[in-house]
Each structure stands twice: as C-alpha cells, then as structure tokens.
Structure 1
Amino acid sequence: MSIRLLICDDDALIRESLRIILSMDEEIEVIDVAENGLKALDICIKNIIDIVLLDIRMPLMNGVDATREIINKTKSKVIILTTFDEDEYIKEALSNGASGYILKNNPPDKIINTIKLVASGNNVMEESVFNKFKENMSYNEEKIDTSLFTERELEIIKAISEGMSNKEISAKLFISEGTVKNYITNILDKTGLNHRTQIAIYYIKGKV
C-alpha cells in the first residue's frame, strides 16, 4: 500500500520538482500539492492523506499553524521541510505535533527515507536541527520527578528517546501497539508535554 503524500510549498518550482522526484518512488503516491497551509488543511480534510510535507513560511497560513490544524483535525502526519532552522519554528512545529523536521538541502533519497520512516510510526529530526533545539531549550524547565512513572513507563520513555516507533517498542517490550499508545498518553498527561518528541528531548537533557 503506497504512502499518500501531500506537498505544500509556496514556491511552484519546488512543489513541482518534489512532485516529480517523490512520485518516482513506487511506495509514494503524491495525491496533491498546495501553495499555502490553508489549502493543505482543506485537502487533508477532504482526502485521505498519510503524510504532509510542509514548508514553514507561506502566505495565508504558515507551516507552524498548519501543522497544529492538520494534527488536530485530521489523521495526517506532518513533516516540516524547510530552508529555515530558526529555534522558534522548531519549537512551535514540534509542539504542534510535527513528526519530522528536515532541511531542503538534503538529497532526495534522505527526504524519501524520512517520509517512509514517519509513515511507519517514527519521528525524524535532522541532527543539526535537533542539536540546535536541544542546546537552546529554556534552562528554567524543571526536572520531572521520575517517581511519577511506573517502571514500564520509564522503559518506554527511554525507547522513545532512542527514536523507536510504537511498533518497535511493542516488539521490544512484548506488549501491543495499543498498549504502547496508552502508556505514551499517560506519560504526556503526567508531564504536561504535548508530543512524544518533547519526551525524547527531556530525557536526553536529563529532565526525566
């Protein structure tokens, strides 16, 4: 079954170039393209879209706001693909639920691989972007008390920080994917965090 993809970028040349390049992979089906976040949201609501490849700076609705709306109103996953790596965009996009954040200067095969990884349940972030985000996180964040978590929840937090998907965690811990999702929901509720990537960041920084 192919990955149903939507490409959203306000640059027509980039949109069409990505459409041509990504369509060449037999596992990816480009359903449509959009020039702004508002149109991308509308397409996601009206169609079954597995992955949205979103630019950040666009008219009418930017990629950060579009990420929030798409995640809240559809079942689509979002990958931010941009030339920008400013801290505020990274934080906002991840807080709004983006599953991936990579830069446009990557070769096509890395973009394709990122799409496939996210489609299979992984979170993907460019190493340079991840390091910048990690280094510039606010230092006034309080450490989360580990006594809040069960031993199983701590195992899942560690697995998330290692970039494992729900399926991989399920296989490693011999529990169902549904149970993994329930544990992650509990972890997010206990920490007040919004997204599993934030769990990984907190763990790596020693906040959990």
Structure 2
Amino acid sequence: MTTVLLVDDQALVRSGFRLILSVEDDLEVVGEAGDGTEALAAARELRPDVVLMDVQMPVMDGIEATRQIVAEQLAKVLVLTTFDDDDYVFDALSAGASGFLLKNSDAEHLVEAVRTVAEGQALLSPQVTRRVVDRMVSRSADSPPPAGGPTVVDGAADARGTVGADAAGAPPSAPGLELLTPREREVLVLVGRGMSNAEIAAELFLGEATVKTHVSNVLSKLHLRDRVQAVVFVHRHGT
C-alpha cells in the first residue's frame, strides 16, 4: 500500500485528488494539508510514501516545504505545477522534488504519477526537462562564468542546449566525475540535456537496457537520488 499526503490550499482540489486516489486498491490518502507548514508537520507525523505538493500556498510555499521534507527524508515529493511555471519547476528540482504533475492532468496520469514516484523513479517528461534546461542555459549565458570555471554554450543550434565540457563530455570541475567511466560521463551529459533512455540509446548506438545500467551506475557513483537530480548536477556544475 502506498500512502499519500495531499497538500493544496484549495480544499476542493484536495477533495478531487482524494476521490481519484481512494478508488485504487494500492493507494491510500493518509492526510491533507493546506499550506507548507501544515505539510511539513503532517509529513513528520504520518511519514507518507508520497507527498502531492502544490507550489503556490500561503504561510510556506511548496518549494520550501519540499526542500525541508526531502532534507529530513520524510517522503518523496510529487510537485503540482502548470506547464508555464518554468521558474517553479527549476526551483522544485533544486529543492529535491522527484517529479512534476500538471494540474490539469487526467485521473489516470495522477494515479500513475504517484505510483512512479513511490517506486523511486523520477517523473519528469523530456519536454518539461528541456524547457528547464533551456531556461538554465539562458540564465547562465546572461552571467559571466566564475574565474577558471567551465563556460556554458548557448544552445541556439540545439533546442536542448549544452554545457561546457571536457573531452569526455562532462563538466570537468564537478565532484565525483573521476569515478565515472568515459561512457558513463557521456550518458550523464545526455541525461542532463533531458534525453530519455531511448534517445540516449539511439544517440550512442546502445541498447536501452545498457543505457539503464549506465544511468544507474552514474546515479550511484555521484550519490544522486534520481535522474532529476542528475539534470541539476550537470547544469549546476556547468555554470
């Protein structure tokens, strides 16, 4: 049974989500909260598997609540957002969210999203990832890089954008990279561009199972929770 905490400042929205999730045999809504402060208290008390977290709330917003919940390892967080909230998505990534769900998603997608995050997988579509990557690259291009650090290359010719990299294709200054094989470094950079396993397999002429193994090794060696954190890692150390 996967336990879920619903966090939204609108009671009607919480009721709708509860109704959808309650009919699933493997999902149980164990609590609700109307703001980030209540969410943090409820997560500490209830220890749910997944917190379904709204972003814009009074008292404490969803980003700060996510940061504290993840820091205390209380639960995995699935953030509710709208497609145009790129800034919120980027901030939630940095806060440790395991995935994103559009508020206008249908019931099937909501249920699948909760299950996916509960299983420890990141839920971030390549389309959303690339929007975030483009925003990160754009921000970095507007600011001079630190002295001696790698530079960010404007992705005008590639909608995904790229980061400054060494010959192996990964930011040379990032900690832990010496543990990766050359192939794992290549895979890391492609994950950072928002590419799916299938796209990475096609790019590197590998099988999807092989790519999955490389991604798993990268996450383990760099102590990253999921590929969402890998996206942040690549672009944080590429600026």
What is the TM-score of this pair, normalised by structure 2?
0.67
**Runs (5+) with no aligned partner, structure 1:** 189-193
Partners of 1:169 and 1:73 in 2: CA distance? 33
User: 2:40 & 2:84 partners in 1: Cα distance?
Assistant: 23
Deviation of 1:156 after TM superposition, in Å, equals: 7.0
Give the Cα separation in 2 of the matches to 1:127 and 1:181. Answer: 18
2:119 corresponds in structure 1 to 120
SS in structure 1 opposite 2:52?
strand
Partner of 2:178: 148
CA deviations over 1:52-91 (Å, ceiling 9, x no partner): 0000100111111111011012330001012363222111
- Match of 1:41, SS? helix
Q: Which residue of 2 aligns with 1:130?
A: 129
1:27 has 2:26 as partner: yes
Write the distance in 2 (CA, Å) between the matches of 1:94 and 1:107. 23
User: 20-29 or 122-131: which moved more?
Assistant: 122-131
Q: Verify: 1:197 aligned to 2:228, yes or no.
A: yes
CA contact (8 A) 1:44 1:74 kept: no
Letter in 2 for 1:148: E
The one-letter code matched in structure 1 to 2:230 is: I
CA distance in 2, matches of 1:46, 1:86: 30
Paired position in structure 1 for 2:66: 67
- The yes-or-no answer on 1:51 pairing with 2:82 is no
CA contact (8 A) 2:50 2:78 kept: yes
1:183 aligns with 2:221: yes
Residue ranges of structure 2 left out of the alignment (5+ in a row): 141-151, 153-163, 166-170, 199-207
The answer as to whether partners of 2:30 and 2:48 remain within 8 angstroms in 1 is yes
Quote the RMSD (CA, aligned, Å): 3.3
Are residues 158 and 83 of structure 1, via their aligned partners in 2, closer, same or farther at CA, if it must alter by over 3 Å? closer
CA contact (8 A) 2:49 2:118 kept: yes
4+ aligned runs moved over 3 Å, structure 1 = 139-143, 146-149, 152-164, 179-182, 200-204
Percent identity of paired positions between Structure 1 and Structure 2:
32
* 1:25 to partner: Cα distance: 1.0
Provide the C-alpha distance between the structure 1 equivalents of 2:10 and 2:196, rounded to a whole number of angstroms. Answer: 35
> How many residues matched?
191
